[in-house]
Chains A and B, each alone.
Chain A
Amino acid sequence: METDWRRHAKNRLMTGLIAGAFVLAMIPLVSLVYEVTKRGIPGLSLEFFTADARGVVGEGGGAAHAIVGTLVITAVASLISVPIGIMGAIYLNEYGTGRLRRALTFFVDVMTGIPSIVAGLFAYALFELFLGPGIRLGVMGSVALSVLMTPIVIRSAEEVLKIVPNHLREAAYALGTPKWKTIVKVVLPTAFAGLLTGVMIAIARIVGETAPLLVTTGVVDSINSDPFNGRMQNLAVYAYNEYRSPGVFKQAAYDKAWAAALTLIAIVMLLNILARLVYRRCKTEIR
């Protein structure tokens, strides 16, 4: 049999192109992680994780207040968005029909495109109505972030619910199971890992938001873990401020900004690892 050199050459060429595209895509990612790690490490210290920045000028002080703020704001935003998002996705995929479904899908798509500063201004305007101008609260930041997060959760959850095989639903119906129970006991457990992945992606998307938090949670130097009372710092805004107004001790401020960026990446990575551990534990099919 004769070897088809043309086919071989084409195969080589395409494989090369695909590998090249992959390398090209990896370059910015790797260099980003490398750069952030390299510049972030000098700023890391025990103090960075345990102390706040109250009364600190120049060296010393930490970002504990920003870490606490990021965790609290993100957690509250998730508490708002995840139930709404998953229930919305259940509606769209399991119940919705016709015009309402199409309209909702459209608006969810529009919402995914909202610039984050608009979400921030929306949350500010909402709270200003009730609490007066100049108000700054952690929960306002959470509301702003949940505006950004909800459509992402809906979209990813909907995709995951779509790939739950229909024959599983039918198997449950054939046993005389009501629809809501089929969803709760069969569809959601089967889709669990996928739903969790979607939530993680949504969290990763919002955890580093800066603009909406600048206008809603304000800037503060001390630890505040109560989202309903007073201003709240977070890592992204912290990094931004350290870089924008480093004061006299420039290098110390820059180090802290990079360390905050590194911490932010580490938080996202830890959450991802945690999610993987959780869904390795449960028997589930769809990731």
Chain B
Amino acid sequence: MFKPSEDVVAEPKGQRAVGRGAKTIETRGVDLFYGDFHAVQDVTMTIAPNRVTALIGSSGCGKTTFLRSLNRMHELTPGARVTGEVTLDGEDVYAKGVDPVAVRRLVGMVFQQPNPFPTMSIHDNVAAGLNLNGGRIPKSRKDEVVERSLRGAHLWEEVKDRLDKPGSSLSGGQQQRLCIARAIAVEPEVLLMDEPCSALDPLATLAIEDLIAELKSRYTIVIVTHNMQQAARASDVTAFFNLDATGRPGRLVEVGATNEIFTNPSQQETEDYVSGRFG
């Protein structure tokens, strides 16, 4: 699956039937470190396909770090290490000989701050994945992918007349949808979102949440959020992370159906957190 010779690279991405199908992520005993600092301890969980899984918890509990370990972005930080196992439909993402670049083609990511490429137009931002990942793709095919991705990100109607304008000319919410369009243009199987709405106003947030609800029919979605209403509204499954004290590693307290976690959690600390007694 991670071998570049297979469909990941060889086949022009636009030709595939929409989506290759969402995948299941399983983690077993994942520990994450920054140098000597133990950031996240022993996370074992299963992330189901075609569901939105929300990671919640107070700041510094390692949600984002854990998220970034799922597509091997964690290791880009100097000194960062991972132990344990992360599998994508049974295949070990960290196995020897697996190219992190190939993993990231299957596991896309949307960041907290909208980060369109400042030197590229709206069109080129969406096509960036195709342009950057090589292969000559005919322009008509590219235009097709761009339109489909922008429609998929609910942005097409707003930008179709100014595709050649720079991506940074859009509003914050539009930029974030542009980034989502850019991520889905390469048709990943999993979409990771790191607090995608924290820099946006409520209306733009609503637009993104609607989009997430729609995207889950095609992708496995994992979203980190500080906003508990958002987790309650937008996710099917919620995982609660916590840490005992500053400087101690974060850990997974419990994971379950979102309405369970918010109405009838099995752990007292989850209850305390979701009812707003701290955090």
Contact = CB atoms under 8 A, between A and B. Distances in A.
Given A170-B73, A190-B117, A175 B133 contact: yes
A284 B116 CA distance: 13
Contact of B115 (A168, A177, A192): A168
Nearest to A166: B76
Interface residue tally on A, bucketed by range: 20 to 34
A176 B118 contact: no
Nearest to B129: A175
A100 interface: no
B182 interface: yes
Interface string B106-133: 1011010101111100000000110111
Contacts of A171: 111, 115-117, 179, 182
Interface stretch (B41-49, B97-105, B152-160): B97-105
A174 B183 contact: yes
Interface string B148-167: 00000000000000000010
Contacts of A93: none
B236 to A, nearest CB: 23
Interface stretch (A181-189, A207-215, A247-255): A181-189
Nearest to A179: B101
A28 interface: no
Contact of B183 (A97, A175, A282): A175
Interface residue tally on B, bucketed by range: 20 to 34
A128 interface: no
Nearest to A165: B115
Interface string A68-110: 0000000000000000000000000000010000000000000
A170 B182 contact: no
A161 to B, nearest CB: 14
B117 A176 contact: no
Q: Which of A176, A186, A189, A282: most chain B CB closer than 10 A?
A: A176
Nearest to A97: B78
B56 interface: no
A284 B119 CA distance: 5
Contacts of A170: 73, 76, 109, 111, 115
B93 interface: no
A97 B78 CA distance: 10
B182 A175 contact: yes
B119 A190 contact: yes
B186 interface: yes
A175 B111 CA distance: 12
Given A167-B111, A170-B111, A190-B117, A177 B73 contact: no
B71 interface: yes
A176 B113 contact: no
Nearest to A282: B119
A132 interface: no
Interface string B183-197: 100100000000000
Given A283-B119, A284-B118, A284-B119, A172 B128 contact: yes
A285 B118 contact: yes
A176 B131 contact: no
Contacts of B129: 175-177
A228 interface: no
Interface of A: 97, 165, 167-168, 170-178, 181-182, 185-186, 189-190, 192, 282-285
| 5 interchain residue pairs of minimum CB distance | A176-B105, A174-B109, A175-B129, A189-B119, A177-B132
